[in-house]
Every structure is written in structure tokens, then in C-alpha cells.
Amino acid sequence: MREQKKLGANEPHHASRITHHAFTLIELILVLALLVVITSIAAPAMARFIRGRALDTEARRLVALMHAAQSRAVSEGMPMMLWLDEKTGAYGLAAETGGQSGGQVIAQASGQNADPKAENLTLDSTLAMAVLHTGAGAATMFNNLPAIRFQADGTVDENSPQTLKLTDSDGFTRTLTETRLRTGYEIADAPSQ
């Protein structure tokens, strides 16, 4: 059998042999200073990443609205107008209520309830939009704003803008261009600056 040794009066207790380790105030300050330096280096890169995501998200949201306009035009059998306000950064979708005048499509909403399915959206505050019309004919307009007209067969009207350009505050852009067969728009593969 094994004997258990009892602690006597001359032997220290086990608890007193444990040493306590802690950080000193200087060590804590150095760690916090290091965290501040790392954060100050990473923050601008993170801000650029977030702004880039806003640009991509807005381009995708605009393409999704174009698909919705195209679907509505086909399903309802009437032209849909995707209007674009470059100055305010607003855009939206509404049914066409007007007609053509001298080759230029002139459509206007005849009141707030002209299209109960109308949608109004606004660009992210860090973005700007430019509508580029390179066609020979007069530009398609909706309420005196440039517009993309989706015809009842789902194609894009020949007088609609061929290119939309979204630009963020750092100058990065995403370009949406009309497809060759005028069936819609697509986001350009590589971002340009």
C-alpha cells in the first residue's frame, strides 16, 4: 500500500505555490495601440470595398428592374417605361400611357394612380447615373426624363438609350449596355475607371 504524506506545519500549502500571471498596464496599452494602427490601415480599404459593393448592388438592382419591366410588357401586352432621372438619382418603372409624336416616344403618367404597379427607386447617395444615347433618332422620354421603353414583345425600343453608366464617389463605374438583339441590358464585365 501506498502511504499518503500529510502536510505538516513546516511544508507550504499547495495553493500558495500557484503564481498569478497578469498583464501589466504597459502591455495592455501596447496591445491597444497596435489594434488602433491595424484598424486605421484596414478602415479605408474596408470603406472602398463597401462602396464597391454599393455600385455592384445598384447595377444589379437596375438590371432586375429592367427584367421586371420586360416581363410586365410581355404579360400585360403593353409597353413599359423605365425612366431615369440623372439629376436626382431616381429611377422607376411605369406603364406607358402616351403615344409617339414625330418619331419620339412621349409618355406621361396621367396622375398618381395611372399605374398602380409603378415603382420608384433612388440610387445610393454615393452614386451618380449617366444616360448615354447614341442612336440616330430622338430619345425616348417619359415625363420629360430619358427612358427605356420595353415594347409589348419584350424588346427594347430602338430610340431608348444604349448605355447607362453608374459612377461612385471614387470614380469607379459600372456600365449597363443594350444587348445586340435589343432584348435587354447587361452589366459590362470589367469595371472601368
Residue 192 inside a domain? The answer is no
Q: Across residues 61-90, what is the average pLDDT?
A: 94
Residue 3 inside a domain? The answer is no
The more confidently predicted of residues 14 and 78 is 78
Residue 85 clears pLDDT 60, i.e. is over it: yes
Residue range 129-156, pLDDT digits in tens: 999 877 677 888 998 999 999 999 999 9
pLDDT at position 100 is: 46
Percent of the chain with pLDDT over 90: 47
Q: From CA 24, how far away is CA 179, in angstroms rounded?
A: 66
Q: For the stretch 6-30, what's the b/e string if a residue is b when 16 or more beta carbons lie within 10 angstroms of its beta carbon?
A: eeeeeeeeeeeeeeeeeeeeeeeee
95 forms bridges with which residues in the sheet? 80
Residue 132 inside a domain? The answer is yes
Q: How many CB atoms lie within 10 A of CB 145?
A: 18
- pLDDT-wise least confident of 13-27, 52-66, 163-177: 13-27
pTM assigned to the model: 0.68
Residue 18 inside a domain? The answer is no
Residue 193 inside a domain? The answer is no
Residue 11 inside a domain? The answer is no
Residue 44 inside a domain? The answer is yes
pLDDT at position 98 is: 62
Percent of the chain with pLDDT over 70: 77
Q: Across residues 167-183, what is the average pLDDT?
A: 88
Domain count, the chain: 1
The whole-chain average pLDDT of the chain stands at 81
Residue 64 clears pLDDT 80, i.e. is over it: yes
Most confident of 1-15, 65-79, 97-111: 65-79
pLDDT at position 172 is: 86
Its domain, for residue 148, covers 25-187
Residue 166 inside a domain? The answer is yes
Kindly report the CATH number assigned to the domain that includes residue 146.
3.55.40.10
